[in-house]
């Protein structure tokens, strides 16, 4: 990631990889997702050095918890994990998913009944989700780096990697997709 | 001479009794031409000892009702549609059969078996005077041994044991029900804790209680168990420790475990008699499902359900940021190391001659490696590196153990302030000490620089300058 990046800080200012003139400000949402304030689509464009860009959707890992059909509307799930919505919208989205997705409901039932009852429900929810997402992110980053990829950016629960055009190691990445 | 005005009851077998008490073909004493059905009924029984009772009960059923189920075996010689109209007019001289049975032989044997199936089922299900009552009347009371010791020969009738009702009376029904309802929660919580630690906590709890009992004799088990739990379950290793020092933390799971022991004691459940290996994932999953579905307000649906109370809570959920002080966890150290390796690799691959010169070096010798470790220990005042055991080069980097983990050097004290934040470094096989970085920038120096600096300090007797440029740190950006 770019120069000056320190992931322990609440706000990360970094120099974009392959774009030395571009500065990216990554901020953490209220529930802990990283989101670039500008240049979100920087790596949606082809690179001039001929490398291919692979985008990995971290939210794909939530299918293990909440069922295969959970990402039909990814925006809603991103809202749930990042908290990037008004309180009212957040509550209505969560209630809708709770009523209509049985696996999501079962998972939420479990953390409601068997989670640490000294903590509020939203904290239990976010802690478990965030832990799962961070673990799957670390797994994918490790896989990609071992396969010869380079981490470019993490934003909106997407990971962007660059790979040499003749490198097929990206195919091992769960949820990976060549976009350029 | 005796005179009676009542019809005498002549003792004798009924038709059903005859059928059910014999096997094989009928003989001159048989009341019907059918094969005996004794074996037919016995094959249906799971418990052979109940056969006489069931047959006796079946014999008491009203007989001849099976005629009502009968039908004729052969086809009608004429058009079936006309038979109904002719039934009333049937005469022995008629050429077609009547619409009803005239002789027992006309009954089909399969229909007879069907009828036996019916009454067999009725006898089994009969709540008043059925098999349940029969078996209860015949049952001999089981005496259970008292668990007072291995050599004890004392026995006690089950009626003398404390029952659920006794415990309810002792602690009050509402409290009893509450404790009972919380048991799955407590077991599941401990199972979760065990999953986190990678230890079967429930088995440990059971064996711990048993050990306490052996050790304590007649002392209060609960007190001992609680102290034991505090000692074992609460003993956790903080994440940042090197595994050497344990800290006693009173965590939520300890409270759950203590509550479980309390509840089991109150409910009359002896945890020591439980088999810890039965608490498998399947059992816990089933228990969880039952627990969730038994909650009040659970909406059952074909494809799963939800709880109305939770739904209401979601609709009024507080999302106050102050109550949720959460941040994304930083990308782990391993990622940073791989990132640093990528920087070095890309630095080597850069086409510029200057970069190639910087990175293309011969592998360091064993002597250089030892000299560097000594210099590092001297400069950082950290001698733990010398006690790390066998160090080896793997995939181009210095590793410890069997090559599974990178040797990480603390370089904070060796760097000038403007090159921070870099705190740790790794050593390449070519003798470059590279700062671990999660960014696209890092710093490196050669081990020769450190060795020379240390020797100079030795010669001059001077003190170490805090992270001076003298160590020749270079910047690399990709």
Chain A positions in Cβ-Cβ contact with residue B185 (cut-off 8 Å):
113-114
Dump pLDDT digits (tens) for B267-325.
Answer: 888 888 888 888 888 888 888 888 888 777 888 776 568 888 898 889 888 887 554 44
pLDDT confidence bin for B248, thresholds 50/70/90: very low
Predicted pLDDT at B79? 47
Question: Is the pLDDT confidence value at B464 over 60?
Answer: no
Residue A129: the pLDDT is 92
**pLDDT reading at B413 higher than 80:** no
pLDDT in tens, B118-129: 878 877 777 666
Per-residue pLDDT, B151: 46
- Cβ <8 Å between A141 and B335: yes
Burial of A37 (0-12, 13-18, 19+ CB in 10 A): exposed
d(CA A145, nearest CA chain B) in Å: 7
Residue B164: its pLDDT value, please?
62
Sign of dihedral through CA atoms B443, B448, B451, B453? negative
Contact between B414 and B422 under an 8 Å Cβ cutoff? The reply is no
* Among the listed residues A49, A52, A17, the one whose alpha carbon sits nearest the alpha carbon of residue A179: A52
What tokens were used for B169? 């009376």
CB contact under 8 A, B310 and A108: yes
Non-local CB neighbours of B156 within 8 Å, separated by 6+ positions: B143, B144, B145, B146
Region B138-167: mean pLDDT is 56
Residue A23 carries which DSSP code?
A: E
- Which of these, B458, B430, B444, B445, lies nearest to B374 by C-alpha position? B458
Q: pLDDT grade, residue B360 (50/70/90)?
A: low
**pLDDT band (50, 70, 90) for residue B229:** low
- Binding-face residues of A in 77-116 toward B, CB within 8 A: 83, 87, 90-92, 94-95, 98-99, 102-103, 105-106, 108-110, 112-114, 116
- Chain A residues whose CB is inside 8 A of the B324 CB are 30-31, 120, 122-123, 126
How high is the pLDDT of residue B242? 42
Instruction: Over range B381-408, report the average pLDDT.
Output: 75
d(C-alpha B122, C-alpha B134), whole Å:
14
Is 60 exceeded by the pLDDT of residue B384? yes
Contacts of B102 (CB under 8 A, 6+ apart): none
**3-class SS letters over A93-155:** HHHHHHHHCHHHHHHHHHHHHHCCCCCCHHHHHHHHHHHHHHHHHHHHHHHHHHCCCEEEEEE
Locate all alpha helices (DSSP H) within B238-293, ordered by sequence.
252-267, 281-293
Token pair, residue A115, equals 């989670």
Place of tokens 């160090």: B391
pLDDT digits (tens, 9 = 90+) for B199-211: 777 887 787 777 6
> Phi/psi of residue B31, each to 5°?
-90, -10
Q: Examine the pLDDT at B245 and tell me if it is beyond 50.
A: no
User: What are all long-range contacts of A144-149, with beta carbons under 8 Å and residues at least 24 apart?
Assistant: A144/A54, A144/A56, A144/A169, A144/A170, A144/A173, A144/A176, A145/B335, A145/B338, A145/B339, A145/B341, A145/B342, A146/B338, A147/A172, A147/A173, A149/A54
Q: Does the pLDDT at position B234 exceed 70?
A: no
pLDDT exceeds cutoff 90 at B185: no
pLDDT-above-70 percentage for chain B: 57
Q: What are the start-end ranges of the E strands in B82-217?
A: 144-145, 155-156
pLDDT in tens, A98-123: 988 888 998 999 889 888 878 888 98
Q: What is the pLDDT of residue B422?
A: 67
Contact B281, B188 (CB under 8 A): no
In the predicted model, is pLDDT for residue B217 greater than 70? Answer: no
Specify the residue for token string 């059910």.
B20
Looking at the DSSP assignment, which residues form a beta bridge with residue A151?
A161
pLDDT single digits (tens) B7-65? 766 667 777 788 888 888 888 888 888 888 888 888 877 667 777 777 777 777 766 55
> What are the tokens at B409?
């050097």
Confidence tier at B408 by pLDDT (50, 70, 90): confident
Comparing B129-138, B189-198, B272-281, which segment has the lowest mean pLDDT? Answer: B129-138
Q: Report strand pairing: A158-163 vs A52-57.
A: antiparallel
Strands A52-57 and A176-178: antiparallel
A-chain residues near B311 (CB < 8 A): 95, 98-99
The residues with which A35 forms a beta bridge, in sequence order, are: A27
Q: How far is A132 from chain B (nearest CA, A)?
A: 11
pLDDT at B137: 62
The CA distance from B91 to B15, in Å, is 28
Are B467 and B446 in contact, with CB atoms under 8 Å apart?
no
The confidence score (pLDDT) of residue B446 equals 83
Dihedrals phi, psi of A13, to nearest 5 degrees: -110, 125
| pLDDT for position B33 | 83
Q: Which of residues 117-136 of A touch B (CB under 8 A)?
A: 118, 120-123, 126-127, 130-131, 134
Strands A150-155 vs A52-57: parallel, antiparallel or unpaired: unpaired
- Cα A17 from Cα A65, distance rounded (Å): 33
- Residues 6 or more apart whose CB falls under 8 angstroms from that of A38 comprise A24, A25
Q: What is the pLDDT of residue B409?
A: 84
With a cut of 70, say whether residue B225 has pLDDT above it.
no
Q: What is the mean pLDDT of residues B87-108?
A: 71
Task: Look at phi and psi of residue B396 and say left if phi exceeds 0, alpha if psi is from -120 to 50, else beta.
Answer: left
What is the pLDDT, as a whole number, of residue B297?
A: 80
- String of DSSP letters for B393-446: EETTEEEETTTTEE--EE-GGGS-GGG-S--EEEEBTTSEEEE--SSSEEEEEE
pLDDT band, very low/low/confident/very high, at A55 (cuts 50, 70, 90): very high
Chain A's closest residue to B184, CA to CA, is A114
CA geometry: angle A22, A23, A27, nearest 5 deg: 140
pTM across the whole model? 0.51
- Locate the chain B residue with the closest alpha carbon to A91: B315
* ipTM score: 0.85
Q: For residue B417, what pLDDT is reported?
A: 65
What is the band of A133 on the pLDDT scale with cuts at 50, 70, 90? very high
**Beta strand A11-16 pairing with B235-236:** unpaired
Q: Is B5 left (phi over 0), alpha (psi -120 to 50) or beta?
A: alpha
Question: Under an 8 A CB cutoff, do A122 and B317 touch?
Answer: yes
Instruction: Tell me: pLDDT of B397 over 70.
Output: yes
pLDDT at site A66: 92
pLDDT at B219: 44
Reading the block at residue B230, the tokens are 């505090």
- Confidence category of residue A15, pLDDT binned at 50, 70, 90: confident
pLDDT at A59: 93
Q: How far apart are CA A69 and CA A102, in angstroms?
A: 11
B435 contact residues in A (CB cutoff 8 A): none
DSSP state of B38: H
The string of pLDDT tens digits covering residues A72-100 is: 889 999 999 999 888 899 999 999 999 88
| Residues in chain B closer than 8 A to A120 (CB atoms) | 318, 323-324
Inter-chain touch A10–B327, beta carbons under 8 Å:
yes
The pLDDT, as a whole number, for residue A5 is: 37
* Cα distances (angstroms) measured from residue B266 to each of B169, B177, B216: 11, 11, 20
Query: Which string of b and e fits A52-82 if b means at least 16 CB within 10 Å?
Result: bbbbbbbbbbbeeebbeebbeeeebbbbbbb
One DSSP character per residue, B66-89 reads GGGG---SSPPSS-GGGHHHHGGG
Whose tokens are 């074909």? That residue is B302
Mean pLDDT is lowest, of A39-43, B186-190, B398-402, B466-470, for B466-470
């Amino acid at each position: 990631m770019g120069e000056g990046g320190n992931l322990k800080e609440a706000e990360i200012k970094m120099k974009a990889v392959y774009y030395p003139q571009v500065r990216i400000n990554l901020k953490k949402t209220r529930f802990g997702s990283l989101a670039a304030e500008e240049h979100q689509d920087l790596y949606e464009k082809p690179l001039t050095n001929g490398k291919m860009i692979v985008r990995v959707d971290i939210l794909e890992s939530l299918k293990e918890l909440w069922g295969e059909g959970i990402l039909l509307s990814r925006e809603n799930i991103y809202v749930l994990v990042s908290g990037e919505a008004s309180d009212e919208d957040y509550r209505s989205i969560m209630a809708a998913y709770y009523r209509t997705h049985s696996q999501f409901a079962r998972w939420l039932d479990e953390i409601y009944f068997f989670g640490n009852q000294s903590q509020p429900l939203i904290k239990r929810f976010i802690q478990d989700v965030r832990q799962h997402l961070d673990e799957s992110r670390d797994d994918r980053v490790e896989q990609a780096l071992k396969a010869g990829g380079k981490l470019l950016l993490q934003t909106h629960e997407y990971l962007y990697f660059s790979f040499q055009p003749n490198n097929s190691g990206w195919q091992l990445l769960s949820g990976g997709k060549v976009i350029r | 001479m005796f005179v009676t005005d009542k019809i005498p009851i002549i003792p004798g077998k009924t038709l059903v009794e005859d059928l059910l008490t014999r096997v094989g073909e009928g003989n001159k004493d048989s009341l019907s031409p059918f094969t005996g059905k004794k074996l037919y009924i016995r094959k249906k029984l799971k418990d052979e000892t109940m056969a006489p009772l069931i047959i006796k009960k079946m014999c008491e059923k009203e007989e001849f009702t099976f005629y009502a189920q009968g039908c004729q075996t052969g086809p009608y010689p004429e058009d079936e549609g006309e038979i109904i109209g002719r039934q009333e007019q049937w005469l022995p001289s008629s050429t077609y059969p009547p619409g009803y049975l005239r002789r027992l032989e006309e009954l089909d044997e399969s229909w007879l078996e069907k009828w036996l199936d019916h009454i067999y089922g009725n006898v089994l299900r009969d709540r008043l005077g059925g098999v349940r009552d029969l078996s209860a009347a015949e049952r001999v009371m089981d005496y259970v041994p008292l668990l007072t010791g291995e050599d004890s020969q004392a026995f006690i009738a089950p009626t003398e044991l404390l029952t659920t009702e006794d415990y309810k009376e002792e602690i009050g029904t509402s409290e009893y029900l509450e404790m009972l309802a919380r048991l799955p929660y407590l077991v599941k919580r401990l199972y979760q804790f065990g999953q986190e630690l990678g230890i079967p906590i429930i088995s440990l709890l059971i064996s711990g209680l048993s050990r306490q009992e052996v050790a304590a004799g007649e002392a209060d088990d609960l007190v001992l168990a609680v102290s034991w739990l505090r000692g074992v379950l609460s003993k956790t290793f903080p994440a940042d420790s090197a595994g050497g020092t344990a800290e006693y933390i009173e965590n939520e799971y300890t409270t759950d475990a203590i509550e479980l022991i309390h509840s089991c004691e109150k409910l009359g459940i002896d945890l020591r008699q439980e088999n810890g290996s039965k608490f498998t994932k399947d059992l816990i999953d089933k228990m969880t499902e039952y627990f969730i579905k038994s909650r009040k307000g659970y909406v059952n649906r074909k494809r799963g359900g939800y709880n109305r109370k939770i739904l209401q809570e979601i609709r009024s959920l507080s999302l106050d940021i102050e109550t949720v002080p959460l941040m994304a966890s930083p990308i782990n150290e391993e990622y940073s190391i791989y990132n640093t390796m990528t920087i070095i690799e890309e630095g080597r691959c850069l086409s510029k001659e200057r970069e190639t010169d910087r990175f293309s070096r011969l592998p360091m010798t064993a002597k250089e490696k030892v000299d560097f470790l000594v210099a590092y220990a001297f400069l950082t005042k950290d001698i733990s590196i010398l006690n790390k055991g066998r160090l080896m080069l793997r995939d181009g980097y210095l590793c410890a153990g069997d090559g599974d983990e990178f040797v990480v050097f603390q370089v904070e004290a060796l760097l000038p302030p403007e090159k921070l934040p870099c705190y740790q470094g790794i050593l390449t096989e070519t003798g470059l000490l590279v700062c671990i970085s999660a960014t696209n920038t890092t710093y490196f120096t050669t081990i020769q620089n450190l060795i020379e600096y240390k020797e100079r300090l030795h010669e001059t007797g001077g003190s170490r300058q805090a992270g001076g440029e003298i160590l020749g740190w270079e910047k690399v950006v990709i």
